[in-house]
């Protein structure tokens, strides 16, 4: 049998009366007091005995939230709004679960991982104004859904940790990673990028002749080209090692991983520049409507990525420290493959970035797939995504500081 309170609410709904009055007991617990409209946060006293009414405001908040159990009235508009809000909240929660549990394990979740997640915010443009007008308690679940959509789903960062690490020009170094898309359409020269971004090290993927052709003009800089990976450093490059990639190439993968030793005082810095396989071939087929072929191709690329990331991680672990890993991972931070391989490395933007940090641009689809990772010897001062300079990627930049000297 339904409770007395529930029966009253059902009767009110049937009669078309809004059950949204806030009724609480006075401090003497002798009388039930109905708070007048517009007096939600204001202090109130019982007219019968003069005792204060809910001075902490906790009981009225509880009563307000209880109204979420049912629509504001039996009118169709209130019922439809109540149902639409519930459906939207469930949709956002399911999207977050898909990303964090099934991305890279199920094709639909992987498509969402690399898709336009911002569309989940669009229903708020309609639901919030309607809730303000007709049923304000619904603003609570809508606000919760918005936070989940912005945070766990879209990956927004507040950068609050950077507030507690003031910059130190004497100790900080600035690193940038950038997929130049062959450098054929860049709006800035290499020299301009180095000056505008004021970096100490620039790691480039898909560098192309537009990058390498400028090496001879970069006086006082140290450069290297290995395949499609390039490095430009203020400090001498005294050693280079490349991870074996023939097995990946034979399977259709494009993984390239190169580690450098940079001679910087007081200790050398080891930096790995990498470019791992993209699932683009399968995703493009799915988006074009060829679902069957797209799912097959996506599964193949996902399997290959699931091999490349752990292998690259093992390679990095074999190198000395302090170590920085940069490049085009072709995996957002929510990716299961990425998290399984790199979870114990600090992602600079996740740690001290602000906003979404998107680096891959494909029209109205954007993602953060270019990363700067550091071991526990580094402190991330701040991180940010750079400007659009003509590639289909934006650069990712970070300022880092040695926390301690390895082995001391």
**Residue 191 and residue 99 share a domain:** no
What is the total count of domains within the chain?
3
Q: Could you write out the DSSP letters of every residue in 391-407?
A: SSB--EEEEEEE-S-TT
Residue 3 domain flag: no
- Beta bridge partners, 346, equal 374
Q: Which two tokens stand for residue 232?
A: 């430009």
Largest CA distance in the chain: 90
Residues contacting 310, CB < 8 A, separation 6+: 340, 341
pLDDT value, residue 7: 61
**Residue 134 and residue 57 share a domain:** no
Domain stop point among 120, 137, 153? 153
pLDDT value, residue 368: 95
Q: In terms of C-beta density within 10 A (0-12 exposed, 13-18 middle, 19 or more buried), how is residue 36 classed?
A: exposed
Note whether 386 and 199 are within 8 A (CB). no
Note whether 288 and 320 are within 8 A (CB). no
Domain stop point among 128, 153, 178? 153
**Residue 275 and residue 194 share a domain:** yes
- C-alpha 322/C-alpha 270 separation (Å) is 6
**Residue 385 and residue 309 share a domain:** yes
Q: Which two tokens stand for residue 39?
A: 């007096």
pLDDT of the chain along its 408 residues, tens only?
A: 556 555 655 555 554 444 556 767 777 677 766 666 656 667 777 776 777 776 777 776 777 677 777 787 778 888 899 999 999 999 999 999 999 999 999 999 999 999 899 999 999 999 999 999 888 888 989 999 999 999 999 999 999 998 888 888 888 999 999 999 988 888 888 999 999 999 999 999 999 888 988 888 888 899 999 989 999 999 999 999 999 877 677 666 778 999 999 999 888 999 999 999 999 889 888 888 888 999 999 999 999 999 999 999 999 999 998 999 999 999 999 999 999 999 999 999 999 999 999 999 887 788 999 999 999 999 999 999 999 999 999 999 999 999 865 444
**Residue 368 and residue 273 share a domain:** yes
- Beta bridge partners, 258, equal 242, 273
How many C-beta atoms surround the C-beta of residue 50 within 10 A? 10
Residue 233 domain flag: yes
Residue 27 domain flag: yes
Residue 39 domain flag: yes
Closest of 117, 190, 197, 170 to residue 386, by C-alpha? 197
Q: Are strands 44-45 and 52-53 parallel, antiparallel or unpaired?
A: antiparallel
Closest of 332, 390, 340, 339 to residue 357, by C-alpha? 332
Q: Calculate the CA 49 to chain-centre distance.
A: 54
Q: Could you write out the DSSP letters of every residue in 49-98?
A: T--EE-TTSHHHHHHHHHGGGS-SSSSHHHHHHHHHHHHHHHHHHHHHHI
Using the structure block, give the residue that is written with the tokens 């953060």: 368
Q: Which two tokens stand for residue 48?
A: 């019968």
pLDDT value, residue 4: 58
Q: Could you write out the DSSP letters of every residue in 10-36?
A: HHHHHHT------EEEBTTSS-EEEPP
At 218, phi and psi to the nearest 5? -95, 80
Q: Are strands 365-367 and 229-233 parallel, antiparallel or unpaired?
A: unpaired
**Residue 142 and residue 176 share a domain:** no
Residue ranges of the alpha helices (H) in 163-279?
A: 190-197, 208-212, 246-250
Residue 149, domain extent: 76-153
**Residue 235 and residue 148 share a domain:** no
pLDDT value, residue 44: 77
pLDDT value, residue 136: 81
Calculate the alpha carbon distances from 9 to 3, 58, 61 in Å: 10, 21, 18
Residue 9 domain flag: no
Q: In terms of C-beta density within 10 A (0-12 exposed, 13-18 middle, 19 or more buried), how is residue 40 classed?
A: middle
Q: Which two tokens stand for residue 301?
A: 């690329």
**Residue 83 and residue 51 share a domain:** no
Calculate the alpha carbon distances from 68 to 40, 120, 202, 226 in Å: 17, 22, 53, 60
pLDDT value, residue 113: 92
- C-alpha 171/C-alpha 224 separation (Å) is 25
pLDDT value, residue 42: 72
Domain stop point among 53, 69, 85? 69
- C-alpha 165/C-alpha 221 separation (Å) is 29
Helix H or strand E segment including 205: strand 201-205
CATH number at residue 381: 3.60.10.10
- C-alpha 199/C-alpha 232 separation (Å) is 10
Closest of 91, 72, 79, 62 to residue 19, by C-alpha? 72
pTM of the model: 0.85
- C-alpha 37/C-alpha 205 separation (Å) is 61
- C-alpha 262/C-alpha 250 separation (Å) is 31
If DSSP codes are grouped into helix, strand and coil, which group holds residue 297? helix
């Amino acid at each position: 049998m339904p409770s007395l309170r529930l029966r009253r609410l059902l009767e009110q709904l049937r009669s078309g009366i809004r059950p949204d009055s806030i009724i609480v007991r006075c401090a003497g617990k002798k009388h039930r007091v109905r708070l007048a409209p517009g007096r939600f946060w204001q202090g109130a006293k019982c007219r019968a005995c003069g005792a204060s009414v809910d001075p902490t405001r906790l009981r009225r908040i509880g009563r307000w939230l209880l109204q979420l159990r049912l629509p504001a009235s039996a009118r169709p508009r209130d019922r439809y709004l109540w149902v639409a809000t519930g459906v939207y909240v469930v949709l956002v929660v399911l999207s977050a679960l898909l990303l964090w549990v099934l991305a890279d394990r199920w094709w639909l979740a992987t498509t969402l991982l690399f898709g336009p997640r911002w569309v989940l915010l669009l229903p708020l443009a309609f639901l919030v104004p309607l809730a303000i007008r007709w049923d304000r308690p619904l603003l609570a679940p809508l606000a919760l859904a918005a936070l989940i959509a912005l945070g766990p789903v879209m990956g927004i960062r507040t950068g609050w940790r950077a507030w507690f690490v003031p910059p130190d020009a004497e100790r900080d170094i600035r690193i940038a990673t950038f997929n130049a898309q062959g450098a054929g359409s860049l709006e800035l020269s290499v020299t301009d990028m180095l000056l505008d971004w004021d970096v100490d090290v620039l790691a480039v993927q898909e560098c192309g002749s537009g990058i390498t052709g400028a090496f001879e003009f970069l006086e006082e800089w140290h450069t290297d080209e290995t395949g499609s990976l390039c490095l430009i450093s203020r400090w001498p490059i005294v050693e280079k090692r490349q991870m074996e990639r023939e097995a990946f190439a034979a399977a259709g993968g494009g993984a390239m991983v190169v580690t450098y030793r940079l001679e910087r005082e007081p200790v050398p810095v080891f930096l790995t520049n990498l470019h791992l396989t993209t699932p683009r071939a399968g995703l493009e087929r799915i988006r074009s409507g060829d679902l069957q072929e797209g799912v097959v191709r996506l599964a193949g690329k996902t399997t290959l990525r699931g091999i490349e990331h752990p292998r690259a991680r093992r390679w990095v672990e074999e190198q000395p420290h302090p170590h920085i890993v940069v490049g085009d991972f072709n995996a957002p931070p929510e990716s299961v493959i990425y998290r399984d391989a790199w979870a114990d490395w600090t992602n600079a933007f996740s740690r001290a970035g602000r906003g979404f940090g998107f680096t891959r641009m494909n029209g109205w689809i954007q993602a953060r797939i270019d990363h700067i990772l550091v071991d526990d010897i580094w402190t991330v001062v701040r991180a940010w995504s750079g400007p659009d300079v003509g590639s289909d990627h934006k650069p990712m930049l970070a300022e880092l500081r040695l926390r301690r000297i390895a082995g001391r």
